[in-house]
Structure 1
Amino acid sequence: MPFGEESRELSIGQTFNLRSHPDEDIRKAAHIALEDALQEKEELFAQILNNIAGFRLQVYKNRKLPHILTEPLIENRLKAETLNAMWSAINKYKKPFTNYLEGKAKMFGDTKMQSYNFWAPVGESKQRMSYGEAVSFILESFSHFGNELGDFAWKAFEKEWVEAENRANKSTAGFCASFPRTGESRIFLTYEEGITSVLTLAHELGHAFHNDAMKTVDGSNRQYPLSIAETASFFAEQVILDAVLEKAESKEEKLFLLDEKLKRSVMNFMNIHSRFLFEKNFYEERKKGRLSVERLNELMKEAFNMAYDRSFDNPSLRSWIWTPHYYITTSPFYNFPYTFGYLFALSLYAKSKEIGKSFEKEYIALLRDSGSMSLENLAMKHLGEDITTEDFWGKGIKLCVKDVEEFMSLIS
């Protein structure tokens, strides 16, 4: 791939990392190079995807499962009504996020958001935190939410459960591992002095806090579904994002941080929705026979247009190749749980803003019960909320809409 005066070979992962490069020419070149590389392998991946789906459909037919979503809904302890209500609420509030995409596109001189500009940074963050400063900031912010969360984070740092050194030959991915017998967790990340690393650290501490809440629960009731596995981590991120925004001193810094928040919203409300729509429509058509590469690309385009309400230009039509979740052989639809976890966390966060510090006790009780109840019963017991209705999901989405409004006000 050409970058300035030099050409160099990059892996798929390295090419993906260029999506947030500050130079638009490099972002665009990376996008084109990725599509070209995927096109060379599309026939092979179409064959693999068709084979996986065909085998699964036959298994479901033999087991007399009524619908392709039956198994993933059971695994996630969700009713179809809940999933439908969540997507319905997202569709209802989609306009503000298309406004955000169009507003950001105009900053790059375009009328529509180009896919290779979505991850581009907007504004600039001058907040640089050493690891020690990040620890202090997280402890202060978590304690502001609740004493239990703050005390737990202090224990994790004090007992050195976090391995965050920035050194060569180390993965940049964040990870949290639970050790149920000792009631401890271990966190792994490569810390760099920027807000993204602070958020990653908070995210993994959120996972560890969920594990800590479960330590007194019987082993058979500790396995919580994927749909709520990201709730505590997203919740912890939200606490930190709001705290960082409060400390932002300039317009550029606020833009940078709001853009970081809104990219998360768009990914969960629109990108994940496109994956869900693609997989749903793909399986419906696969019942009738194998799908060609051309048809798979068409389905991907249709899913993008619907999920983004046609506000996204030049998307990766071959993202069905590089999205690993489509190739998981255990069960399909490894997509909607992300949106559920994100939006459920936002709804919990909205509740915490209403109630204040006393909410922490109920929050911990909810996490503790997450491995032994359906998510409808969990929400009703601890929140008094019916998550099969649009109204519940709207509470969390409205928080993100406020972010859009502030973002649009700053760029206007």
Structure 2
Amino acid sequence: MTLKHVTPFSIAYQSADAAMADPGLGGLPEWDLSVFYSSIEDPAIEQDMADAKKLAEQFEVDCKGKLAEIAERSGDELAEIIRRYEELEDMMGRTGSFAGLSYAGNTTDAAHQKFYGDVQEKLTTASLHLLFFTLEMNNVDDAVLENALRSEKLAYYRPWLEDLRKERPHERSEEIEQLFHEKHVTGAAAWNRLFDETISGSRYEIDGEELSIEQTLTLLQNPDGEVRRKAASALSKTFGKNLSVFTLITNTLAKDKDTYDRWHNFDDIADSRHLANRVEREVVDALEEAVRAAYPRLSHRYYAMKAKWLGVEKMHFWDRNAPLPQADTRDIPWTEAKSTVLDAYKKFSPELAEIAEQFFDKNWIDAAARPGKSPGAFSHPTVPSAHPFVLVNYQGKTRDVMTLAHELGHGVHQVLAAPNGALMAPTPLTLAETASVFGEMLTFKDLLANAETPEKRQIMIASKVEDMLNTVVRQIAFYTFERQVHELRKEGELTAEQISAIWMGIQEESLGDAIDLEGGYENYWTYIPHFIHSPFYVYAYAFGDCLVNSLYAVYEEAEDGFEQKYFDLLKAGGTKHHSELLAPFGLDATDPAFWQKGLAVIERLIDELEEMDQAD
């Protein structure tokens, strides 16, 4: 099993690196990483990695082969061993986080590339001395461990120990796990880097000017249809040039995952992701089934309505995210985006806003879009002894404001969960999306309440529906695509044409007849990073959106007490199963009706848009 501090740096984004932001947006912050080190040349980095290796070696000498005996002898003593292990995780995680964030800030710079690679390799070497620990812990007899848990100190770690036990059916011998662990740097992690650096270095020519993918994708939201067409054409052309590279990466990683899954006794191609998310396969299957069945009521219906608004029978695929004719397309200054999000957070909870404001005041945000910077947006929790960092590529669009609200939700969640420590602060992806989507919803509802005219209300609702369709319909379509690609890869290597055919078939199913996908869309699967960095990650977005739709309905109907329950959910981090966390709100994700409630929220917004349309 892969240790946290050497997990490939996960970038939750939808596009790639951007050119410099418009100066009209105001001063855009860049993060201050000095909580870790002064720079990538800081001599403390080498010293810390050497110390980590030495401490890991000593930990192995002190503990290997002795855990069962220690557990039988003293729960307090075993708790102290776990505490030492946790401290090592945090120590290595600090260096790994700094390397990952530094690399994200400049993925195309040779010095940062080398630094990131070197740190990964050294941390992997050091962590080999820790790999025995979780394997040996899972060999401690259940009865012995349960008796040891009478210790108050050890009982603190019960949630982590119970989660660890869930890994037991999928663990192999220490020697085999060491091989998988050590080969990861030259396997999946290397292919991840190749993808990142290919995307970050790619350029897209429009009217003689070379743009980054972030800039080019942003043009798909331009009010001018001809601009959107040119952007789509440029994307298709460059994707086509790199098609063989992306096809090789996809085939290699799918085969690599299949090999890992077979050796670790996972039956279904997504089971390892479900285990990491602490969610049952049946729950995810029910989610996928519910969303796919709802395509006609949601995306098909909305895009048919949007085509009519744009004055066409069928939209081209490059018009899917086009602004409506009356939409406000001005650039929103950074200061306005900040106040918009913080004001919405504050109306729900002053404490929520106070935590979020730290990200602005203490330079925990990198907002400027610049050459070589990692694309899109993410919030990296780093380690409990530090604090999270948020990356966005702010370009002044309404969606950028909502992205800021989303990532700050993650950041607040990570701050609140951090006191659980390095082992129990991390939250499963399915629940990690709760605070982010809730933050978006708070911001949307606040803006909607201030809509000055019915026309502005209509445009805002339409924009929110599109965001929800991108979060629910699009991500489940992505999940279905991944499933088909990984299943077919078991039978042999896939050609680019085969992958593109799968892509097009699933996009047609999810988007409906109102969108014409001809003209270059067949290769758009190539730039989706989640397929590369985190296979089957994408369903977590749909899970989180449907969950928050239901949660927000409870909030609107709730009397006193909702805020405290919500904070308790966020503070729990990874210490509780989703069923425990949702129970106080009267929600149950194992109930098929749960997903229908979440989807019904989107459906009602589309109903409202139809009523407005008919009234006009």
Greater mean deviation of Cα atoms: 184-193 or 282-291: 184-193
Residue 89 (structure 1) aligned with residue 290 (structure 2): yes
Alpha carbons of structure 1 residues 173 and 289: separation in structure 2 relative to 1, 3 Å: closer
- Correspondence for 2:436: 233
1:10 aligns with 2:215: no
Write the letter of the residue equivalent to 1:350: A
Other structure's SS at 1:332 match: coil
Mapped to 2, the partners of 1:318 and 1:167 lie a distance apart of: 25
Aligned to 1:325: 530
Aligned CA distance change for structure 1 residues 59 and 205 (closer, same or farther; 3 Å): closer
User: 1:9 aligns to what SS in structure 2?
Assistant: strand
- What SS does the corresponding residue of 1:317 show, helix, strand or coil? helix
Match of 1:288 in 2: 491
Distance change >3 Å, CA 148–CA 61, structure 1 → 2: same
Q: Does the 8 Å CA contact 1:189/1:201 hold for their aligned counterparts?
A: yes
Aligned to 2:114: none
For 2:511 and 2:370, the matched residues in 1 are separated by 39
Structure 2 equivalent of residue 395 of structure 1: 597
Question: Which residue number corresponds to residue 550 of structure 2?
Answer: 347
Q: Max radius of gyration: which structure? A: 2
Amino acid of the structure 2 residue aligned with 1:363: Y
Residue 529 of structure 2 aligns with an amino acid whose one-letter code is: P
Q: 1:46/1:65 Cα in 2 relative to 1: closer, same or farther (>3 Å)? A: same
Q: Report the counterpart of residue 30 of structure 2 in structure 1.
A: none
Closer/same/farther in 2, CA of residues 234 and 170 from structure 1, 3 Å limit = farther
User: What CA distance in whole angstroms lies between the structure 1 residues aligned with 2:491 and 2:312?
Assistant: 40
The counterpart of 2:306, out of the listed 104, 111, 122, is 104
Q: Could you tell me which runs of 5 or more consecutive residues in structure 1 were left unpaired when the two chains were aligned.
A: none
Trace 1:189-200 onto structure 2 (pairs within 5 A).
Answer: 189=392, 195-200=398-403
Distance 2:286 2:490 in 1: 26
Which aligned pairs between 1:205-220 and structure 2 lie closer than 5 A?
205-220=408-423
Structure 1 distance, partners of 2:354, 2:431, is 23
TM-score, normalised with respect to structure 1 = 0.87
Aligned residues: 406
1:221 to 403, 424, 447: 424
- Shift of the alpha carbon at 1:241? 0.5
Kindly provide the amino acid, as one letter, of the partner of residue 379 in structure 1: L
Q: Bigger CA drift: 277-286 or 253-262?
A: 253-262
Question: Measured at CA, do residues 410 and 225 of structure 1 come closer, stay the same or move farther in structure 2, by a change above 3 Å?
Answer: same
1:40-71 CA deviation, whole Å, 9 max, x = no partner?
A: 33234323322222232233223332111110
Deviates more, 1:121-130 or 1:259-268: 121-130
Partner amino acid for 2:301? N
> What is the 5 A alignment of 1:68-79?
68-79=269-280
Question: What letter corresponds to residue 322 of structure 1 in structure 2?
Answer: Y
Of the three residues 262, 274, 293, the one matched with 2:477 is 274
Cα drift, residue 119 of structure 1 = 1.3
Q: Once structures 1 and 2 are overlaid, which stretch shifts more, 41-50 or 122-131? A: 122-131
Comparing 248-257 and 172-181, the one that deviates more: 172-181
The aligned counterpart of 1:65 is 266
How has the CA–CA distance of structure 1 residues 362 and 51 changed in structure 2, closer, same or farther, with 3 Å as cutoff? Answer: same
After superposition, the Cα gap between the structure-2 partners of 1:10 and 1:149, relative to the gap in structure 1 and judged at 3 Å, is closer
Q: 1:188 to 1:96 in 2, by over 3 A?
A: closer
- C-alpha distance in 2 between matches for 1:263 and 1:73: 27
Matches within 5 A, 1:9-408: 9-94=210-295, 95-122=297-324, 123-125=326-328, 135-153=338-356, 159-161=361-363, 163=365, 173-178=376-381, 181=384, 184-187=387-390, 189=392, 195-314=398-517, 316-328=521-533, 332-356=535-559, 358-380=561-583, 382-408=584-610
Greater CA deviation, 138-147 or 81-90? 138-147
Q: CA deviation at 1:224?
A: 0.9
Contact 1:185 1:211 (C-alpha < 8 Å) held by counterparts: yes
Q: CA RMSD in A?
A: 3.0
Displacement of 1:129: 6.6
Checking the alignment, whether the CA contact within 8 Å between 1:78 and 1:376 is kept in structure 2 is no
Unaligned runs of 5+ in 2: 1-203
Further displaced range: 184-193 or 388-397: 184-193
Q: How far has the Cα of 1:131 moved from its partner? A: 5.1
8 Å contact from structure 2 (residues 320, 515) kept in 1:
no
Q: Give, as a single letter, the amino acid of the residue that structure 1 aligns with 2:287.
A: M
Change (3 A) 1:284 1:136: closer
Structure 2 distance, partners of 1:367, 1:302, is 38
In the TM superposition, what whole-angstrom CA distance separates every residue of 1:339-368 from its partner, at most 9, and x where no partner exists?
A: 212222222212111214521111111112
Q: 1:326 to 1:208 in 2, by over 3 A?
A: closer
Instruction: Determine the C-alpha separation between the residues in 2 that align with 1:71 and 1:302.
Output: 26
Question: What is the alpha-carbon distance in structure 2 between the residues aligned to residue 46 and residue 188 of structure 1?
Answer: 28
Offset, 1:325: 2.2
Distance 1:15 1:166, change over 3 A: closer
Task: Summarize the Cα distance change of 1:163–1:276 in structure 2 as closer, same or farther, 3 Å threshold.
Answer: closer
Q: In structure 1, the residue corresponding to 2:419 is in which secondary structure?
A: coil
Please give the secondary structure, in 1, of the residue aligned with 2:284.
helix
Shift of 1:335: 1.4
Instruction: Determine if contact 2:547/2:598 at 8 Å carries over to the other structure.
Output: yes
**Residues 157-205 of structure 1 deviation map (CA, whole Å, 9 limit, x = unaligned):** 6x54565776977968555444655675454556666644443332233
Alignment-derived partner of residue 140 in structure 2: none
Q: Could you tell me how far 1:284 is from its partner in structure 2?
A: 1.7
Distance in 2 (CA, whole Å) between partners of 1:246 and 1:165 is: 27
- Higher mean Cα deviation, 28-37 or 272-281? 28-37
Q: 1:176 to 1:38 in 2, by over 3 A?
A: closer
Taking structure 2 as the reference length, the TM-score comes to 0.60
**Structure 1 residues 374 and 247: CA distance shift in structure 2, 3 A:** same
Code of the aligned partner of 1:33: A
Q: 1:402 to 1:170 in 2, by over 3 A?
A: farther
Distance 2:250 2:576 in 1: 33
Change (3 A) 1:276 1:132: closer
